[in-house]
Amino acid sequence: MGKQMTEMLKGTLEGIVLAFLTGNPAYGYEITAWLRGQGFTDIAEGTVYALLVRIEKNGLVDVEKRPSEKGPPRKVYSLNADGEKYLEEFWTTWGFLAERLESLRTEGK
Amino acid sequence: MGKQMTEMLKGTLEGIVLAFLTGNPAYGYEITAWLRGQGFTDIAEGTVYALLVRIEKNGLVDVEKRPSEKGPPRKVYSLNADGEKYLEEFWTTWGFLAERLESLRTEGK
DNA sequence: AACCACTACTCAGCGCTACTATGTACTGGT
DNA sequence: ACCAGTACATAGTAGCGCTGAGTAGTGGTT
């Protein structure tokens, strides 16, 4: 993946995944596939799983294990109340940053 | 600074500074002050100087030393051709990311 | 003269996140 | 028996911003 994208994803990938999880419980493999479909073609599987471990440890999601027809059991993640609050803060932070950058891009300094 | 903002700045702060430098040579202390004026109130001085060292080492800027009336000599940075090209790539990368996030925020997944 | 605020730059060490690379394990098709 | 696809896990690495401290020059106050 491009180095710029790699650095830019720091902090935002988490928000992207949490946003996807809103009202839409999903498991790791599924999330990875979705991300690739969104254009994040080079996201490594390991990155997603590590992220999921982290947000679970931070108490932002609930986890439920479900059997799969085609492989090992799935770990289905769903956003909980803390996660929703965290995601709201994420949007606030991102909104500020995006606004600053947008005005920089159009107006110049 | 908020942890979310700290992580999100990774990769974007560099672009912000390069964008500011476009057609507008500046020195570290000045850039720090400008960033604070833009709302990035908690950007550490050390962060900015380290970033400037990095982009200089990567050949994105030219540097000129100028005496100051009120302190140690200033190191004035100006964007060069490589820097402009890099900044263009930055906008492309950021544009993609911002678009994805924006559609996530409004449409939901 | 001593002190402090402001200007201006530097640097070592830390924490966090994404990436690399590899491994495990289950199902189904050939 | 083999391989592709599904599904998860993890140790080690690189990069970036932050913390905290230090150096240096100028000007104003006491």
| Both tokens assigned to A27 | 């498991």
Helix, strand and coil percent figures for chain A, each rounded to 5: 60, 15, 20
Kindly state the helix (H) or strand (E) to which residue B42 belongs, with its residue range. none
Whether the predicted pLDDT of B109 surpasses 60: no
Q: What is the pLDDT of residues B59-83, one digit of tens each?
A: 999 999 999 989 899 999 999 999 9
What is the block-wise mean pLDDT of chain A (109 residues), using blocks of 10 residues?
92 97 96 96 96 97 94 96 97 97 85
Q: Which of A60, A84, A97, A106 to mutate to test the interface with B (most CBs of B within 10 A)?
A: A97
Residue nearest to nucleotide C27 (CA to C1'): A70
Write out chain A residues lying below 8 Å of B15, CB-based: 101
- A21: phi then psi, degrees, rounded to nearest 5: -70, -15
A105 within 8 A of B19, measured Cβ to Cβ: yes
Closest Cβ–Cβ partner in B6, B8, B93 for A4: B93
Using a 7 Å cut-off to protein CB atoms, list the covered nucleotides of chain C: 6-13, 16-28
**What percent of chain B has pLDDT above 90?**
90
Whether the predicted pLDDT of B1 surpasses 80: no
Whether the predicted pLDDT of B22 surpasses 90: yes
Q: Which 3 state secondary structure label does DSSP give A78? A: strand
Q: At which residue do the structure tokens 């996030």 appear?
A: B101
pLDDT at position A11 = 92
Q: At which residue do the structure tokens 């909104």 appear?
A: A95
- Closest CA relative to residue B105, chosen from A92, A80, A104: A92
pLDDT at position A74 = 97
User: Which residues, 6 or more positions from A35, have their beta carbon under 8 angstroms from its beta carbon?
Assistant: A16, A17, A43, A48
